[in-house]
């Protein structure tokens, strides 16, 4: 029972970890002692996140510039993390994007963009870390789903398709890799206050209030609200938990109205 939630000495990759939910996740892991690779495209934003994590939590952290859609860049990211830390214990597939339109308005390039950033990336990253996790005797892969993994809406067809897919992909990986002691789970955030949803709130002025009214907790989430669940799913506390999709949503998904 000792050290159930302790991540000291563990190494985690968080894609999209330089802001928003990814940074909330990274802060949770760092607070439990994990060393971190923050993987995203914007190098200045990543450098700032890395500095903040090092200063606040005293952990080792590096930034890795990567476009998670790109197979070679993903392989290079994994190599860099292994060259730096010698191990990868935890992978958070969290990078994501959204394009809000009605289904009849989308063009194929938009399908490629949203599905590749949100779903193909998680396949590429999971496959790339698998050999190191297997060789080390186990690991944790956590995917970021969404309420749209469960619900549909008119203007989120591509996003919802990717977020439903990431949960199903995780269940398959969980089945395949349980024998390697690799647990694969998903976090389904409710409405969280980040750059992504700030844009959504500009597009839909009444969204702020509608979410407050629909959420039993009566508020939007903040990125740090994801930290505790991230630690649970990344630590040995969850060693017999695999293939689940865990809402972190203030009750949004269990409310009837
Ligand atoms: N906010 C919510 O309410 C909410 C709810 C449910 C699920 N989510 C999910 O949570 C995750 C994080 O979203 P967020 O709300 O925190 O939004 P965000 O602040 O916009 O963060 C998105 C992150 O993904 C990274 N990213 C985007 N495209 C990338 C690419 N091609 N390669 C590498 N990194 C990329 C971004 O970094 P760079 O731009 O530097 O690359 C950024 O760090 C997403 O998967 C999103 O779908 C969010």
174-217 tens-digit pLDDT? 999 999 999 999 999 999 999 989 888 888 889 999 999 999 99
Residue of 158, 194, 204 with the most ligand 1 atoms within 8 Å of its CB, for mutation: 194
Q: Which residue has the higher pLDDT, 198 or 93?
A: 93
Q: How far apart are CA 209 and CA 186, in angstroms?
A: 27
Torsion sign over Cα 140, 77, 158, 222:
positive
Query: What CATH number does the domain containing 210 carry?
Result: 3.40.50.720
* Predicted TM-score (pTM) of this structure: 0.98
The answer to whether residue 256 is domain-embedded is no
Residue 198: both structure tokens together: 């700030």
Count CA atoms closer than 13 A to 234's CA, side-chain side: 34
- Whole-number mean pLDDT of the chain? 97
The answer to whether residue 88 is domain-embedded is yes
Distance from the alpha carbon of residue 187 to the mean position of ligand 1, in angstroms = 14
Closest C-alpha residue for ligand 1 atom 47: 96
The answer to whether residue 2 is domain-embedded is no
Buried b / exposed e over 71-104, threshold 16 CB at 10 Å, is: eebbeebbebbbeebebbbbbbbbbbebbbeeee
The answer to whether residue 6 is domain-embedded is no
110-167 tens-digit pLDDT? 999 999 999 999 999 999 999 999 999 999 999 999 999 999 999 999 999 999 999 9
The answer to whether residue 3 is domain-embedded is no
Closest C-alpha residue for ligand 1 atom 19: 20
Distance from the alpha carbon of residue 95 to the mean position of ligand 1, in angstroms = 4
Give me the domain span that covers residue 219: 11-250
Number of domains forming the structure of the chain? 1
Q: Report the atom number in ligand 1 closest to the C-alpha of 193.
A: 1
The answer to whether residue 233 is domain-embedded is yes
The answer to whether residue 257 is domain-embedded is no
**Secondary structure letter of residue 115 according to DSSP:** H
């Amino acid at each position: 029972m000792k050290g159930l939630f302790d991540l000291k000495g563990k190494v985690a990759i968080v894609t999209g970890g330089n802001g928003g939910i990814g940074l909330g996740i990274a802060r949770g892991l760092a607070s439990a002692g994990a060393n971190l690779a923050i993987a995203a495209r914007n190098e200045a934003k990543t450098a700032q996140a890395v500095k903040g994590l090092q200063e606040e939590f005293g952990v080792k952290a590096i930034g890795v510039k990567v476009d998670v859609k790109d197979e070679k860049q993903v392989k290079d990211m994994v190599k860099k993390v292994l060259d730096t830390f010698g191990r990868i214990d935890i992978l958070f597939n969290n990078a994501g994007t959204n394009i809000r339109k009605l289904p009849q308005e989308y063009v194929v390039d938009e399908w490629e963009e949203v599905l590749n950033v949100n779903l193909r990336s998680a396949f590429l990253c999971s496959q790339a870390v698998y050999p190191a996790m297997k060789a080390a005797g186990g690991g944790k892969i956590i995917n970021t789903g969404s309420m749209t993994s469960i619900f549909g809406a008119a203007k989120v067809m591509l996003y919802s398709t990717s977020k439903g897919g990431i949960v199903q992909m995780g269940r398959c990986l969980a089945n395949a890799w349980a024998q390697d002691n690799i647990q694969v789970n998903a976090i389904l955030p409710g409405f969280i206050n980040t750059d992504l949803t700030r844009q959504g709130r500009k597009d839909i002025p009444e969204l702020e209030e509608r979410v407050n009214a629909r959420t039993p907790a009566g508020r939007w989430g903040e990125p740090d609200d994801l930290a505790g669940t991230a630690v649970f799913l990344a630590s040995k506390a969850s060693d017999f938990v695999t293939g689940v999709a865990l809402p972190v949503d203030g009750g949004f998904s269990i409310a009837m109205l």
